[in-house]
């Protein structure tokens, strides 16, 4: 495979359940912002202009909700012969290639909301902080298998240095 031939390697996507986790989080923060607006409007002797801040946050959250599905679908990774490639982002996209021999730590993280959906995030750490990557929304079994595979690949690549 040449450096420009990416057709033989498939992009792996995060779990479809991850969208529900993200929507639940957006719904929670929308409720918090709405409560802030209501509280600031009800308190006497407080200018109604102050309620604009949580109101603006609420509006931004509501505008972002339709984009959540596309944002989650834009997250993907590839396990290539010599490196892990990770991509994410709709408007500001990021693509990082991490050589297996440079991996220092592969960590699985599970938050309370993602645990409800049986999901995990896989954090890949290298010496260069800018190349650190977190792959969110992986099924917990897939995250554990990917962690084990990456650790094994890193060990074989470091042995050859």
pLDDT per residue as tens digits for the range 56-87:
888 998 898 889 999 999 999 999 999 999 99
Mean pLDDT computed over 12-31: 92
For residue 160, name the pLDDT band (cuts at 50, 70, 90): low
Is the Cα dihedral 51, 56, 61, 66 positive or negative? Answer: positive
Q: Residue 74 gets which letter from DSSP? A: T
Distances from the Cα of 133 to the Cα of 4, 10, 12, 61, angstroms: 23, 19, 15, 25
For residue 159, name the pLDDT band (cuts at 50, 70, 90): low
């Amino acid at each position: 495979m040449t450096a420009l031939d990416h057709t033989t390697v498939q992009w792996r996507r995060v779990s479809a359940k991850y969208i529900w986790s993200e929507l639940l989080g957006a719904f929670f923060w929308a409720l918090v912002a709405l409560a802030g607006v209501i509280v600031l409007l009800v308190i006497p002797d407080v200018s109604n202009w102050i309620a604009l801040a949580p109101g603006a946050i609420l509006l931004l959250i509501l505008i972002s909700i339709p984009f959540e599905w596309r944002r989650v679908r834009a997250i993907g990774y590839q396990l290539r012969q010599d490196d892990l490639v990770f991509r994410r982002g709709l408007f500001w996209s990021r693509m990082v290639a991490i050589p297996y021999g440079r991996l220092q730590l592969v960590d699985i993280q599970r938050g309370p909301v993602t645990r409800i959906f049986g999901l995990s995030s896989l954090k890949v750490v290298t010496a260069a902080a800018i190349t650190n990557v977190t792959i969110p929304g992986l099924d917990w079994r897939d995250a554990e298998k990917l962690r084990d595979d990456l650790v094994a690949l890193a060990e074989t690549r470091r042995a050859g240095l």
